[in-house]
Amino acid sequence: MSKFPRPARLSKDKRRDLIIFLCRALLSLKSEEEVAKFISDLLSPPEIEMVSKRLEVALLLIQGSTYQEIRNKLKVGFTTIARIQTWINKSGEGFKIALSRRKPIKEINIYSHDFQNQLKRKYPSYYWPEILLEKILAASDIKHQKIISNLVDSMLLP
């Protein structure tokens, strides 16, 4: 899990107001695509992965998976799993509500072409090999495009 600096000392009321502000922003979104765009603007790719893993850990714990099974599947530490188990035991209503209302993954496509392009524009250093290859393909003639595509395909297949 990522290490975050100690939170600034805000008053209890200010912290509550900020959380309400975030919740209202989330509630204003109308589709999975809007939520995906909002989250990609709000969080970095590693933060998105971290939050997603926490949610998946919660689901697996609620379904009765063992710590070792969760660790092997998601590559998270026992401490993280134990912390999420504590959250669920203490006041896990939010996890339970969100997980009970989720749609099957097949219905949600967060990796739409538009979403991927937004990520590439926002984090070009992360996607630079793909961006470079796209530019090379765009500058090539049809013969060379086929050669490059075949080469890439052969690298992707075992």
Q: pLDDT exceeding 90 applies to what percent of the chain?
A: 23
Question: Helix/strand/coil (H, E, C) string of 81-127?
Answer: HHHHHHHHHHHCHHHHHHHHHCCCHHHCCCCCHHHHHHHHHHCCCCC
Alpha-carbon distance of 86 to 93, in angstroms, equals 12
Give the residue with greater pLDDT, 119 vs 47.
47
Lowest mean pLDDT among 5-9, 32-36, 104-108: 104-108
Domain 33-108 - what CATH class?
A: mainly alpha
pTM: 0.57
Residue located via tokens 């590559």: 75
Using the predicted structure, report yes or no on whether residue 47 has a pLDDT greater than 60: yes
DSSP assignment of 16-85: HHHHHHHHHHHHT--SHHHHHHHHHHHS-HHHHHHHHHHHHHHHHHHTT--HHHHHHHH---HHHHHHHH
Average confidence (pLDDT) over 13-38? 88
pLDDT of residue 7: 60
Torsion of CA 51, 45, 117, 155, to 10 degrees: -110
pLDDT for 4 equals 64
Q: Are the beta carbons of 117 and 87 closer than 8 angstroms?
A: no
Give the residue-averaged pLDDT of 141-149: 81
pLDDT at 106: 54
Q: Which of 30-39, 66-75, 102-111 has the lowest mean pLDDT?
A: 102-111
